[in-house]
Amino acid sequence: MKVGITAKLFLFVLLACAAVVVVQGAAFRFVMERGFLGYLNQQSRMRMEEVVPRLEKAYAARSSWDFLRSDFREWVDLVLPFLREPGVDPASRVASSDQTGALARMGLLDADMRRVVGNPDVDPSSIRIPIVVEGRTVGWVAMVPFEAVLPKKDERFLEQQFKALTMVGLGSILVAALLTFVLARALLRRVRAMAQATHHLASGDYASRIAAGANDELGALARDFNRMAQTLEHTERARRGFMADISHELRTPLAVLRAQLEAIQDGIRSPTVQSTNAMHLQVQRLGKLVNDLHDLSLSDVGAMAYRRVSIDAVTVLQAAAGSMQGRLEAASLRLVLQIPQGPLTISGDEPRLHQLFGNLLENSLRYTDGGGVVRVHCARHGAHALIVIEDSAPGVPADKMEKLFERFYRVEGSRNRATGGSGLGLAICRNIVEAHEGRITASASRSGGLCIAIELPLASG
């Protein structure tokens, strides 16, 4: 039979409460029977120790116990010497000095453990203290244990207390069972809600959420679950968008290539330099997309090869800007360089950094209106080399800045051109910068466009 978590929790807490009640009851009984009665016997022993010196002195004077066998008053005088004091009420002195009845339970045994005088129930099993005279044990002061002479009514009283304690324990277990049942239901109601939401999430319902409820561990778990579900939902949307985007990016150049080839095959169009160049352009576009996807996948798993050496970031930036200057001018864009004379030495991979700067300049080329300007600025910023590439209008809405470095993300609006890229360039740029222990951020430029700032750590020494 399968036992649910509700029953397990209920039984666990109930057994824990029952164990506590049983242990407390056993401890109380032990304290009463051993601790308290032991305390009374210890008090009685102290009374016996008071009597021993007097008995030793009396035996030393007479050399035997015969004087006590024939005269009980002599025993009383030795045990209670104050009874003969003038002006003393014997009853009050006995009552005040012996609250435990020790004197009445006391007796004397000779060296052979035979009773001499005192309580008739004393025997070798009683509480005993030796009486030693001249190094020889001549007798024993003995006392019947308190529990052996406990009156029947006192025994009944103790038994009644133990029964009452048992009833209290059973009542406590019943209350614990009721409270445990209520607690288990309240607690497991939230656990079942989490289990149900987890089941929905596992089945693909990424919109599943849990009410956090109280600010406790389960509430924290619910909030973490909601964040995980939100991340999975975002990832699923990104995956679907990725599939849609990649299929679109692949289909467009393939459709152009197929149309051109079919036209040539059908004799509608003869192979010319223009048609060949058009097909070559589409092949280049496909090749760049495939290369970008390959680079992105490698950088995501940390498998992109980096050969880090000491290089001058200024030199790499100038080379990337020089390779793009002709294309920028052809698009009626003015390139403005603000680069220091001295070197900014960093530890980096030159081809990857050239790819980084080239992608950023390519992004400005694609998305900046004709007649605009692209500014490239480089300077030392503390222990970092700061590279800033900014362009003119159109700009990017402030709420879209954080998403620019996501793969296949392209801003809807004036910066999303039909001739735009695949949306992978900035994602690759971010991975390259992070591989160089740097930081890349996006913000609005002073010219109304986009400003990309890169910080790369300078090489030490």
Residue 343 sits in the same domain as residue 453: yes
In which band, very low, low, confident or very high, does the pLDDT at 318 lie, cut at 50, 70 and 90? very high
Examine the pLDDT at 367 and tell me if it is beyond 60.
Answer: yes
Domain range for 75 is: 5-148
Tell whether 236 and 322 lie within a shared domain.
no
CB 371 within 8 A of CB 391: no
- The answer to whether residues 432 and 353 touch, using CB atoms and an 8 Å cutoff, is yes
CB 436 within 8 A of CB 346: yes
Q: How many residues does the chain have?
A: 461
CB 387 within 8 A of CB 255: no
Among 148, 167, 183, identify where a domain stops. 148
pLDDT at residue 244 is higher than 90: no
Q: What is the pLDDT of residues 337-354, one digit of tens each?
A: 998 877 899 999 898 899
Q: Is residue 185 part of a domain?
A: no
pLDDT, tens digit, 9 for 90 and up, residues 136-174: 999 999 988 876 655 555 556 667 767 777 777 777 777
Assigned domain for 17 exists: yes
φ, ψ at 443 (rounded to 5°): -155, 175
Within-domain flag for 438: yes
- How far out from the chain centre does Cα 141 lie? 66
Indicate if 283 and 321 belong to the same structural domain.
Answer: no
CA–CA dist 175, 167 (Å, integer): 12
pLDDT (0 to 100) of residue 302 = 58
Give residue-wise pLDDT tens across range 26-37.
777 666 666 666
Do the Cβ atoms of 49 and 211 come closer than 8 Å? no
86 preceded by cis ω (within 30°)?
Answer: no
Is it the case that residue 190 has pLDDT exceeding 90? no
Residue 199 located in a structural domain: no
First to last CA, the chain: 72
Q: Give dist(CA 140, CA 401) in Å, integer.
A: 101
How high does pLDDT run on average in the chain?
A: 79
What 3-state class would DSSP assign to 116?
strand
The three-state (H, E, C) secondary structure of 65-111, written as one string: CHHHHHCHHHHHHHHCHHHHCCCCCHHHHHHHHCCCCHHHHEEEEEC
Same domain, 313 and 295: no
Between 184 and 145, name the one with better pLDDT: 145
Distances (CA, A) of 280 to 90, 104, 256, 275, 285: 131, 124, 11, 8, 9
What CATH number corresponds to the domain at position 278?
1.10.287.130
Strands 448-457 and 439-444: antiparallel
Number of domains in the chain: 3
User: Which range has the top average pLDDT, 69-73, 105-109, 420-424?
Assistant: 105-109
